[in-house]
């Protein structure tokens, strides 16, 4: 029997036992009257304040009476229900009915006092815990007497006690995984009654850092209390919602407090779970990376090795072992310092410098003796780094045979030098040609002039003619030298690129050429603006226009300069109405020193078109000719890349 | 027209006999009052101008006609030497060359050539050039070469 039960005074109790109880708890010297009226007044005050109910069962009539608190605890009002022994037990939890009956029987049988706990099931489904103390009051007249009892709701205390016990038990379990802890905590919510909080692990693999705690619920049964709590702890990757299953009524205050307590713990554990999950994932990534690096180290066909702080080789990859002509195991076990043979370079001193200075030495190319014994070139990259095993500073060396690269480089340098020399020779030749070769020709011409001048009277007509021919040949030779020189120089120094308006350029060329009367040269509006070498383009067009006029067979004629486009090219045409060129000669005219007309009829060295084509090639273009001698229509076409066009919209319009 | 009775002196530095002959013919044709002195390379010319190596020093005033391509000392070297000599640095020099190379022209003017002419093949080229040159020399006062010239003018 509990002491609480003893302290609960029953209505109408006037026995000494009651007095003793009250008197025992009362502060010393408190004058508490033995007057039953006073005691009743005290009870009237105390019972509603303590929410203490009381009841009475008349054993003679089997009538049951409840105080208003008992009604309240049952969730009933006196208007709804008049208690009786048979129907009252229906409010009890089925598991409690038998024990309550047994308890009551024992009270009657032994005339003793009993305290017992029972659970009420309210009509709204709520469960309430109640503690009741009961005692038998005998009838002085010899009747069956009455049983009186107290009725106190203990839901919160009961649940708290049960939850605490379980939480302590859970805390006592060591080595629990966060997931297991969460499951355990949710299990405890079932003790609270009226609620069942369930975690549904949508992904059972806790290594995956994304999971949802939840439950399939009816619409009215979910409570977002849990989501709030847990959400605080899981700001980032983890979104979790914890649903608490409820009976249709809301949790009462005491239950809600406990659920909140537990869910906070769940929230904490979920954060921990997330962290451990992330840690596990990160660890796994690290392991994979290390495996990957090891794989690269083992398979890369570049020799890589590590040296320790004392400049000794501690680790080599298979490529390095092959390079050093030994096995990985043999090299790593020997701890050699020297492995790169060289006659004139101290690789180990170099390594030591890098180790001491702790500064990388990259891209060092020096001589060494190749594994086949031949001299070669080696490129090394040395990076000081911390040895992951010893924690000491070491050196990572990456070596590559650079013999082929160096040879190519040497060859290229050699070829460049030769090319420069060849160009210089050409310059020298050009200079000699312009001075030394032309001087005697000029002298011949002048001497012939003087002979003619001094002996004008005495020379025969044949001699005059011979001298005249001599002078003309000498002049032709002079012109030929000039032209060859121009040809040799053409295509060089055309790197300077500028914006060239072709229409204006053609007009300028025509003005400079001094076209003879009777000839017209038209510069068409289709001519584009190009970004190219003005000098080269000017020479090409000048040669083409001059060529058209020079080889014209009539006193009057016209030359038309215009442009067309294809998808890739812009084509500048120079079309004339001259006699034309027979099909079989059309390619021949571009050759150096080729002429179709006898030199004495049309003065020309046959260099102009050759220069024009050479310049066109230098501009990444070409020149072609189409001619139909019968139609008096000959067109020279300079094809250039579209990319030279300043305004690409020309292409869109024309194509 | 010349301002005194002295004929103009032309120092022709030229190794090609035909060119020397061409200039002589031009002078005859122009009937010029001009004394032509010829040196066949730059070193000889310098000796003549300085009066060294048993050469008699040319009496001023004179104008130099310089061929560019010369044995032993070519035109550029001659000009450099000339401009480094305090007594000769003010000499008027016309370059006559078969070369029209940009580098040669640049060098000639860098050493203060009075003009750079490219020799042409036509029969009257020299006549025109020499005529213009003589007229130019008649129009200008030539630089003072030495004390003798000054005293001569004074006398």
**Interface predicted TM-score (ipTM):** 0.75
pLDDT score of A492 more than 90? no
Lowest average pLDDT, out of A276-280, A395-399, A473-477, goes to A276-280
Contact B121 A436 (CB under 8 A): no
pLDDT recorded at residue A235: 31
Show the tokens assigned to B37: 């002195």
Choice between A152 and A343, residue whose per-residue pLDDT is larger: A152
When the pLDDT of each residue in chain A is averaged and rounded to a whole number, the result is: 78
Contact B123 A442 (CB under 8 A): no
**CB–CB of A604/A595 below 8 Å?**
yes
Rounded to an integer, the average pLDDT of A390-402 is: 87
Query: 3-state class of A419 per DSSP?
Result: helix
Q: Which of A642, A649, A469 is nearest to A565 (CA)?
A: A642
The model's confidence at residue A252, banded by pLDDT at 50, 70 and 90, is low
Query: 3-state class of A635 per DSSP?
Result: strand
**Residue A467: φ, ψ to 5°:** -65, -40
Q: Is A473 on the interface with B (CB under 8 A)?
A: no
Q: Is A456 on the interface with B (CB under 8 A)?
A: no
Chain B: give the shortest CA distance to residue A475, in Å: 8
Residue A430: count other Cβ atoms within 10 Å of its Cβ: 17
Rounded to an integer, the average pLDDT of A2-31 is: 42
Question: Which residues in chain B are closer than 8 Å to A431, comparing Cβ atoms?
Answer: 99, 101
Q: B-side interface with A, Cβ within 8 Å?
A: 16, 18-19, 21-22, 25, 68-69, 97-101, 119-121, 123
Contact B101 A450 (CB under 8 A): no
**CB–CB of B94/B65 below 8 Å?**
yes
Q: What is the pLDDT of residues B82-115, one digit of tens each?
A: 999 998 888 999 999 887 778 889 999 999 999 9
**CB–CB of A195/A229 below 8 Å?**
no
Q: Is A482 on the interface with B (CB under 8 A)?
A: no
Choice between A209 and B140, residue whose per-residue pLDDT is larger: B140
Adjacent-strand bridge partners of A386: A393
Pairing of strands B93-97, B62-67: parallel
């Amino acid at each position: 029997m509990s002491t609480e039960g003893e302290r609960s005074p029953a209505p109408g109790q006037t026995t000494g036992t009651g007095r003793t109880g009250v008197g025992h708890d009362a502060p010393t010297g408190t004058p508490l009257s033995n007057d039953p009226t006073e005691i009743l007044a005290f009870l009237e005050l105390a019972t509603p304040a303590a929410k203490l109910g009381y009841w009475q069962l008349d054993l003679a009539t089997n009538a049951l009476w409840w105080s208003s608190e008992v009604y309240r605890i049952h969730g009933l009002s006196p208007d709804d229900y008049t208690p009786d022994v048979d129907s009252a037990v229906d409010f009890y939890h089925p598991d409690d009915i038998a024990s309550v009956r047994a308890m009551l029987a024992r009270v009657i049988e032994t005339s003793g006092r009993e305290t017992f706990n029972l659970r009420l099931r309210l009509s709204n489904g709520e469960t309430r815990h109640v503690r009741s103390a009961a005692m038998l009051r005998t009838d002085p007249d010899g009747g069956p007497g009455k049983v009186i009892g107290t009725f106190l709701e203990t839901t919160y205390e009961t649940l708290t006690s049960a939850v605490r016990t379980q939480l302590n038990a859970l805390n006592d379990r060591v080595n629990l995984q966060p997931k297991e802890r969460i499951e355990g905590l949710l299990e405890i919510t079932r003790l609270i009654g009226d609620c069942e909080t369930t975690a549904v692990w949508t992904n059972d693999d806790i290594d995956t850092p994304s999971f949802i705690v939840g439950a399939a619920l009816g619409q009215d049964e979910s409570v977002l209390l849990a989501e709030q709590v847990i959400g605080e702890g899981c700001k980032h990757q983890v979104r979790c919602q914890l649903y608490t299953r409820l009976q249709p009524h809301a949790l009462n205050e005491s239950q809600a407090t406990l659920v909140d307590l537990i869910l906070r713990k769940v929230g904490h554990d979920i954060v921990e779970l997330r962290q451990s999950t992330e840690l596990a994932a990160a660890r796994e990534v690290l392991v994979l990376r290390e495996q990957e690096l090891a794989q690269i180290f083992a398979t890369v066909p570049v020799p890589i090795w590590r040296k320790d702080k004392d400049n000794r080789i501690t680790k080599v990859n298979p490529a390095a072992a092959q390079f050093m002509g030994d096995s990985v195991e043999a090299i790593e076990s020997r701890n050699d310092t020297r492995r790169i043979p060289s006659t004139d370079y101290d690789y180990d001193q170099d390594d030591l410098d890098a180790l001491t200075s702790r500064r990388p030495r990259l891209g060092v190319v020096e001589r060494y003796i190749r594994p086949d014994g031949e001299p070669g070139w080696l490129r090394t990259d040395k990076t000081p780094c911390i040895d992951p095993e010893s924690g000491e500073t070491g050196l990572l060396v990456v070596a590559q045979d650079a013999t082929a690269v160096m040879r190519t480089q040497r060859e290229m340098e050699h070829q460049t030098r030769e090319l420069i020399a060849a160009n210089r020779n050409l310059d020298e030749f050009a200079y000699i040609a312009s001075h030394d070769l032309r001087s005697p020709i000029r002298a011949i011409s002048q001497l012939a002039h003087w002979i003619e001048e001094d002996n004008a009277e005495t020379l025969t007509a044949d001699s005059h003619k011979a001298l005249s021919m001599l002078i003309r040949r000498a002049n032709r030779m002079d012109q030929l030298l000039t032209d060859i020189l121009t040809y040799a120089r053409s295509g060089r120094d055309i790197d300077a690129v500028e914006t060239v308006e072709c229409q204006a350029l053609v007009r300028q060329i025509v003005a400079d050429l001094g076209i003879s009367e009777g000839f017209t040269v038209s510069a068409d509006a289709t001519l584009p603006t190009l970004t190219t070498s003005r000098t080269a383009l000017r020479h090409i067009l000048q040669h083409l226009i001059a060529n058209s006029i020079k080889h014209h067979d009539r006193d009057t004629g016209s030359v038309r300069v215009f442009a067309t486009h294809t998808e890739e090219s812009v084509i500048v045409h120079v079309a004339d109405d001259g006699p034309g060129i027979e099909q079989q000669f059309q390619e021949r005219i571009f050759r150096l020193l080729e002429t179709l007309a006898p030199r004495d009829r049309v003065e020309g060295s046959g260099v102009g078109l050759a220069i024009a084509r050479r310049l066109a090639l230098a501009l990444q273009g070409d020149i072609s000719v189409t001619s139909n001698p019968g139609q008096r229509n000959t067109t020279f076409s300079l094809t250039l890349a579209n990319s030279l066009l300043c305004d690409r919209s020309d292409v869109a319009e024309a194509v | 027209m010349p301002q005194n009775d002295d004929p103009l002196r032309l120092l022709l530095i030229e190794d090609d006999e035909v060119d020397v002959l061409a200039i002589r013919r031009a002078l005859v044709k122009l009937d010029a009052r001009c004394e032509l002195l010829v040196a066949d390379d730059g070193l000889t010319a310098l000796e003549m101008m300085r009066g060294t190596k048993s050469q008699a020093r040319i009496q001023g005033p004179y104008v130099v006609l310089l061929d560019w391509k010369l044995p032993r000392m070519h035109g550029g070297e001659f000009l450099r030497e000339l401009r480094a000599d305090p007594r000769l640095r003010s000499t008027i020099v016309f370059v006559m060359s078969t070369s029209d190379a940009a580098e040669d022209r640049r060098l000639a003017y860098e050493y203060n050539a009075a003009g750079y002419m490219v020799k042409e093949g036509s029969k009257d080229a020299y006549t025109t050039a020499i005529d213009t040159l003589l007229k130019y020399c008649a129009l200008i006062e030539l630089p003072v070469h030495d004390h003798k010239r000054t005293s001569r003018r004074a006398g």
